[in-house]
Chain A
Amino acid sequence: MSETLTGQESIVRMVKAYYKTLMRIAFTYVKNAADAEDIVQDVFLSVYTNMPDFESPEHEKAWLIRCTINRCKNHLCTAWLKHTEPMDENLSYLPQEENEVLSAVMQLPEKYRIVIHLHYYEKYTIDEIAKLTGCKPAAVNSRLARARERLKSQLKGGFDSE
């Protein structure tokens, strides 16, 4: 309804458009669907509460991704998680090949996982990933290269460069 419902319409559209993207990104960080779901809900709660004005659809998407990444980092820094071993998602329901590849990616350090995901799944460029993660493009490039190197040793064929 206009101001309120326009906001409601807007957030429904955002959820439909970006929920899965944000879930994948959060999962890449926290390796657990339940926690990822909480984080994504938290992101949309933030939108619902603050109703930020976005300059463009790109700005909107980038804001949501950045927000998700920040919350994932906060989540991983919580005292609870520092003193406990988070339970990784059971991926046994996936086909064997997918299970192997996803498990290999999930075993990478978090900073490598996210660049792999943003680059190969979300198709972001190095510069865009740099903006989203708050790193320099050179750092993103080197993380991507190191991640590929590690995957090459674990997976037959590795992750080819392009």
Chain B
Amino acid sequence: MNKEVYCSAMDHLEGQSDGMQTLLARIETGEKPRLSVLKRIPPSLRKAAEFAAAAACLAILSLFIFPLFQSNQIKLPNSSSNVTARVVKNPELNGQSFRQPAGLSEEDIFQRADTVLSGTVEKMETLEIVLGKDVSYRSLITVSTDNVWRGTVFAGSAVQILLPCAIDENSSSSNSQSVLSQIRTGMHGIFLMESFTQDSRYTSGDQYLSLIDLAPYGLSDDASAFIEKNGSIVYRTESFPGLIANPTWDEVCGYIAGMMDKQPTTAVDNTTITGPSATSDANTTNGSATTSDTKNTTTAGSGANSTTTAIRPVKYSGPPADDFDFVYDNNGNYYRIAKDGTKVLFNLPKPSSALQSGGVYANGEWVYYVLWVPGQSSEEDGIYRCRPDGSESTMLCKFTGTFSLTFTDNAIIIKSDFQHLYSMNKDGSNLRKLCDLPADGVYTPYFLNNNFTSNNQYAYVFEGKSDYTYLLQISLSDGSYSPIHEWKTTEWLNRSLAKAEDGWIYYLENYSYDNKFVGTIKRIRMNGTEDTVLRTGDRTIGNMQVFNGKIYFQYTGEGNALYQMPVDASSQPQLINMPNIDFTVYTIRNVYIQSNHIYIECSAGGAALHTFRMNPDGSGAVQVN
């Protein structure tokens, strides 16, 4: 039979290339797959092609890159095209270098600051900003932190802070009324800062400068700093009536700590980032007041923000405190969402900027997160945790490679490189290897996917091949494991775990082949008995979630309907009332459940994304991006 011979020939072809191993090695070391472009060029032309490529790179460097260095231009990827900013030396700064505070109370000043720290000014630069017809100057300071009362900065790290004014370091006649104008390199101080977000901008007409292009943090006004100068503390006394007169450094620190205790840390309102248009700003060379400020708060459901950035909840593992959710967007920004839908940027505390987030997990009163340096092994790769306001950040353990986390009441279970399980206490103690899952020979962990699920005693995974699958139960106390249920089938099934809850494991079984489609929701006891079909039908099922006694799911291809049914299937699935979305345009791409909310991510033709948050019954829907 020639078709069998053809298949055999195709099988033999596979063995001629080690491309898959090379590709896997690249991916596992964090390197992106890349094309071997030169392979397409005849060997006789390769030298010439390499020379041409080198010449082209040099030309690009000389045309675009070198001039940037030469002119100290700052890249502004998030700002409008005609806006420029550059570092300048000894600019002509006329007038005073301070901003009047906005008349806020003592409590309000601490309320608006999402980051409060002390440190030494290591570097000070002056930026020239050209925004439309306006030219203005701002100082950018780099502070080496030594104490952090609030925020996501590590003590010992350096942070850049944008000041709302420019400081002339060479001037000896600094205005005695101004605190900020007295800042100098080498000085020690306390800074009440605000994190910039994508929405923090200086605007002039339709031009805008995104402040996040200049620095991650900013000071609002003259009431944002306490400076240690010549043995005394310089600060705006009328803004802090609760602080005793002529305080010592320790007394100021005590006062700050006391104010921190008074302030709720979960309801930060970043509304007061001010732009260069404030009337007291004397450094705008033409004195123009045409620029305006943009508020830094996005409120869910306001409809004012037309961004198409997708928002989705972070990994939900265990109950987080119920007054906030954590979400992240496509740009890698994390946010905390308060009950009223207010979204606040949440900067992951990092010991160094090279580290990138490998995931955030909300669990109880802590936020656990993974940091790593892509493409290389770093001493700082590992698992960290902090409070929901970013304080008390600590590294729990060093950990490298590919892994994901699951939480029990007291422990973190780490699944590493698909088949190694580790456990440690939530404070980072008692890190130990539980077991290596079987992954050789017949038992290729083909179905070992990310839906790894655990309760407090056992973890569960599906293993096996397409025609033989088993559910493996792994003891979280000693790492022993055993198959507790087996399925033998000739059909191409895909099983995925959804959740282990109340003694049951809920899972999905989809079958599609030869124009036949079957989607089945099943559950099985945690001891491997009572494998039960809850619902089956001639459509495959996706986006299944189990939450609070209900199973939520969608039928594949039916993009605009979300169903719920009781976990025991005692009643028929019911459609959930959806928010007022134009489903002739949008379809639901993903469904997530975190805390007490359902998040649905909608797209239009794979392009524009909007995320809605609603209560489990479909009420209270708000748009969160």
Q: Which A residues form the contact surface with B (CB < 8 A)?
A: 1-6, 8-13, 15-17, 19-20, 23-24, 27, 33-35, 37-38, 40-42, 44-45, 48-49, 53, 55-59, 80, 89, 91, 93-95, 97-99, 101-102, 105, 116-117, 120-121, 125, 127-128, 151, 155, 157-160
B40 contacts partner chain A, Cβ-Cβ < 8 Å: yes
Within 8 Å CB of A2, what residues of B?
315, 358-361, 370, 404-405
Chain B residues with CB under 8 Å of A1's CB are 358-359, 370, 372, 402-404
Q: Report the bound CA distance from A44 to B26 in whole Å.
A: 12
Q: Is the CB of A23 within 8 A of B34?
A: no
Q: Which residue of B lies closest to A90 (CB)?
A: B16
Instruction: Pick the interface stretch among B1-9, B99-107, B248-256.
Output: B1-9
Of the candidates A4, A59, A157, the one whose C-beta lies within 8 Å of that of B359 is A4
Cβ-defined contact, A155 with B2, below 8 A: yes
B24 touches A16 (CB 8 A): yes
Interface size class of B (residues with CB under 8 A): 35 or more
Partner of A40, one of B19, B446, B510, B590: B19
Contacts of B1-29 to chain A: CB distance below 8 A: 1-3, 5-10, 12-14, 16-17, 19-20, 23-24, 27-28
Q: Is B224 an interface residue (CB 8 A)?
A: no
Asked if B589 is an interface residue, CB under 8 A from chain A, the answer is yes
What B residues does A94 contact at CB under 8 A? 9, 12-13
B437-452 interface bits toward A, Cβ cutoff 8 Å, 1 = contact, 0 = none:
0000000001001100
Instruction: Give which listed residue, A9, A93, A116, A127, contacts B450 with CB less than 8 A.
Output: A9
A4 contact set on B, CB distance < 8 A: 356-359, 372, 374
A-B pairs, 6 with minimum CB distance: A2-B359, A1-B358, A98-B9, A102-B9, A19-B20, A37-B19
Question: Which of chain B's residues 390-428 have a Cβ closer than 8 Å to chain A?
Answer: 402-405, 418
Contact at B358–A55, with CB atoms within 8 Å?
Answer: no
**Chain B residues in the interface with A (C-beta under 8 A):** 1-3, 5-10, 12-14, 16-17, 19-20, 23-24, 27-28, 30, 32-37, 39-40, 315, 328, 356-361, 370, 372, 374, 402-405, 418, 446, 449-450, 494, 510, 512, 514-515, 540, 542, 556-557, 589-590
- Nearest CB in chain A: distance from B558 CB, A: 10
Known contacts A23-B19, A41-B19; is A3 also within 8 Å of B2 by CB?
no
Complex partner residue of B35 from A45, A117, A120, A159, CB under 8 angstroms: A45
CB distance from A61 to the nearest CB of B (A): 10
**With A33-B16, A127-B515 as contacts: A11 and B27 at CB distance below 8 Å:** yes
Query: Residue on B with the closest CB to A158?
Result: B2
Which residue of A is nearest B32, CB measured?
A: A48
- Smallest distance from the beta carbon of B415 to chain A beta carbons, Å? 9
Contacts A1-B403, A19-B19, A121-B10; A55 near B2 (Cβ below 8 A):
no
Partner of A15, one of B9, B23, B328, B556: B23
CA distance A42 to B35 in the complex (A): 6
Report chain A residues within 8 Å CB of B23. Answer: 15, 19, 40-41, 44
**Could you tell me if B357 and A157 are in contact, using CB atoms closer than 8 angstroms?**
no
Residue from A3, A11, A15 whose CB has the most chain B CB atoms within 10 Å:
A3
- For A12, list chain B residues within 8 Å (CB): 24, 27-28, 402, 418
The number of A-B residue pairs with CB atoms under 8 Å apart is 175
Q: How far is the CA of A47 from the CA of B405 in the complex (A)?
A: 23
CB-CB under 8 A from B356, the residues of chain A are: 4
Question: Which residues on the A side are within 8 Å of B418 (C-beta)?
Answer: 9, 12
Would B359 and A33 count as touching, CB distance under 8 A? no
- Given the contacts A55-B557, A120-B7, A38 and B36 also touching, CB distance less than 8 Å: yes
Q: Return chain A residues, CB-CB under 8 Å to B449.
A: 13
Contact across chains for B405 and A24 when beta carbons are under 8 A apart: no
Q: A56-B494, A95-B12, A157-B2 are in contact. List 18 more A-B contacts (CB 8 A).
A: A1-B359, A2-B404, A9-B404, A10-B450, A16-B24, A19-B23, A23-B20, A38-B39, A38-B40, A41-B35, A42-B35, A44-B33, A57-B494, A94-B12, A98-B9, A98-B12, A99-B9, A158-B2
Partner of B510, one of A48, A56, A80, A151: A56
Kindly state the separation between the CA atoms of A136 and B524 in the bound complex, as whole angstroms.
43
CB <8 Å contact, B8 and A98 = yes
Which chain B residue shows the least CB distance to A22? Answer: B20
CB distance from A107 to the nearest CB of B (A): 13
Of all chain A residues, the one with the shortest Cβ separation from B371 is A1
B590 contact from A49, A53, A120, Cβ within 8 A:
A53
Distance of B607 from chain A, by nearest CB (Å): 12
Q: With a CB–CB cut-off of 8 A, which chain B residues contact A121?
A: 6-7, 10
Chain A residue nearest in CB terms to B399: A1
- B140 to chain A: closest CB distance in Å? 30
Nearest CB in chain A: distance from B151 CB, A: 22
